[in-house]
Every structure is written in structure tokens, then in C-alpha cells.
Amino acid sequence: MQCLRQVWRMTKLWTVASTSRSLKVTNLHRSMNTLQQKQQVMAEAKPWGLISEVGDEGFQESVIDIIEKHFHIICLKEFFKNPMLHGPKIQALLMWNCSPAAEPSLLSCLPSLKVVANGGVGIDHLDVPYLNSLGVKVANTPGVVSDATADMAMALLLASARMVVEGHLISVDPKTTHVPQSLLGVEVTGSTLGIIGMGNIGYKVAQRSKGFDMRILYHNRNRRSVEDEQAVGASYCEKLDDLLKESDFVVVVVNLTPDTTGLISHRELSLMKPTATLVNVSRGLVVDQDALAKALKSGTIRAAALDVTHPEPLPRDHPLLSLPNVLITPHIGTNTNATIRKMVQLMVDNALAGVKGLPLPSEVKPK
């Protein structure tokens, strides 16, 4: 009898424990389902953003997390599989390397588009008045690119002046048996630097060149404040010609506009010293490339260092590519991990503000 009571007690305890476990499992399943439902609602609540692609010429995979945190993204290739379905959902176009191109053929498929967030400062590839007429705001990413681009300008200047690439090629050439003493560069310290375009990037270049004890001249649409000038030791040249005549290094840091297209051509190059170097980190079309090739061949100027050309890349038979006194990099002025992430974050901030109808952190207004 006592044994039966013990069995009954054990059975009762097991039943209670089993029921408790069942309740816990059921509650766990309910919690998981609730979480999944919440995640689904959050995903559906995200605004849709159109991008070109991930990888290759599009966004790097390492920055996609920044966009996906706030947007449901769709790539251009996937979008064109069913534009009638996807088009009305798109509220933001996130443009990288000028893609997706904001052309009428695409814009006509995006009736809900509110904002075009461009990666980079230059917006010469965007028709801002036209986009605004459609009710679409435009933004770029100034400020966050300034340091990296200024670093690149100085890197090009130094590499060209001290013949770094030429020295490297000699050092790794299997035929090299001795170092030629004719590999002579030009002095950077104490030389005269002329900066054309004294905006954020131009001013950063001035700050860096001050460390090389360079004499700094600058030409800009508007003169900087006396405090700005004194901080870097810069002197204003009202006339571009004066800067060109006096500078050992000329760094071009302007936006591409109708006024700056072909800003440096035959006449301007002829005013420069035969020992001078031209550095361009703005846009390829700011410099007349045919005039530059002629000036480099004839010895009108010593050298050129370019992070930008037109087009990019240049045709493989372009005369600039065969000249020994030209250093060209493939528009990598902003290409650092830190800067790219800052750019994408600002793009997302602009896009979110546009979707929500709030002021854009860096909206581009038509001029």
C-alpha cells in the first residue's frame, strides 16, 4: 500500500513537471513567433532604396550593413526584372559611382521617389533643377571626404616630386644591378604651392603643406577670412595667372561646373614654370588633357599627377598614358575604409531625412 502511494506521488510530480515543460515550450514558441512577426513588420516598414549593385563598381559588401539597417534595398538588375512591381515602392535612390543614373527613363518608373543621395561631393552628373521639379531632393557627401582627398593630393605631389614610382620600378626590375644617380627629384620643403579652389579640401591641402614649410598661394571665387589665411599662412591671389606664374606645384581642387570646365588649358599651362608640377584631384574635365599632353611632351611643365581623368579609365591609346612624366591613379581619392563608411552613413542619413520629409543634412540646392 505504501508502495502504491509512492508511485502515485511520483506520477503526480511527473505530470506537473511535464505540464510545466510543455507550457515553457509553448511560451517559447509563442515568443519566437512574436519576434518573427515583429521582424517581418519592421522589414516591411523599412523604406525601399534602389542601388546599382553590390561589389564590382557598386557598393562594397563591407558597407551594405549600414544601408540595410534602415532600408530595404534592391539592386538595379533585380529592379528591372519587374519595374512595374518594384517602381512604386522606391522612395530613395542611393547613387554610387554615378549609378544608378538618374535619367528620365528610370525616373519615370519611380513615382514615389523622394530623394537622390549621391556618394561623393561632385554632382555634375545630376540635373538638380530637373529632379527638384519632380519633387525629388538631392544630397551629396561633403566634409567626410575632405581629409582622404587632401591626403591623396599630397601623396600625388610627393610621389611625383620624389619620383617614387620610378624608383620602385627600378628597385623591383630583375635587370637592375645598380641604382642610377640620375634619378633626381625636386624639393618639396620650402617650395611654393598654388591651390586652385580653397574649399574644404583645398584648405585641408593647405594645412598639410604647412608642415612642409611651403609658401602657400590660393585662388578661389571668394577670399577666405583673415583668420583662415593666417592659420595656414596662405596668401590670396585674385588673379589665377599670378598663382600659375609663381607656383612650383599647382593643385586643382574645384567642383566641375560650366565655368571650371577646361579651366587649365594651353594658355594656363604656358604660364606655369617649366619646373612646375600640376596635380589634379577635382574632375578630369577641369583640365584640357590634349593641352596637358602637349605641355608635358614639350617641357612646358615638368610633370603632372592626376587622380582624375576623362573618361575614367582613359582609352588605352591615350597619349597621356605613354608619357614618362605623368603619374595617374584611378580616382581613389576617397578610397579608405573609414571614409567610405562615413560617406555611406551620410548618404543613408540624407536618404532617411528625404523619405521622412525632414531637412537633409547636406542637400544640394540648384544654383
In sequence order, what DSSP letters do the residues of 141-152 get, joined into one string?
--STTHHHHHHH
Q: Is 90 exposed, middle or buried (0-12, 13-18, 19+ CB in 10 A)?
A: buried
Pairing of strands 277-280, 215-219: unpaired
For residue 186, the model assigns a pLDDT of 97
Single-letter amino acid code for the residue at 204: K
Contact 123, 365 (CB under 8 A): no
**Active site residue: 78, 312, 316, 341, which one?**
312
Which residue in 219, 224, 246, 283 is the catalytic one?
283
Q: What is the pLDDT of residue 5?
A: 53
Where are the domain boundaries for CATH 3.40.50.720 in the chain? 48-142+338-356, 146-328
312 is catalytic: yes
Q: Tell me the CATH number for domain 146-328.
A: 3.40.50.720
The confidence score (pLDDT) of residue 179 equals 86
What 8-state DSSP symbol labels residue 363? B
CB atoms within 10 A of CB 74: 16
| Known catalytic residue at 283 | yes
SS3 194: strand
**pLDDT tens string 271-308:** 999 999 999 999 999 999 999 999 999 999 999 999 99
CA angle 95, 100, 104 (to 5 degrees): 115
pTM, two decimal places: 0.86
125 assigned to active site: no
Q: What parts of the chain have a pLDDT lower than 70?
A: 1-44
| Reported CATH class of domain 48-142+338-356 | alpha beta
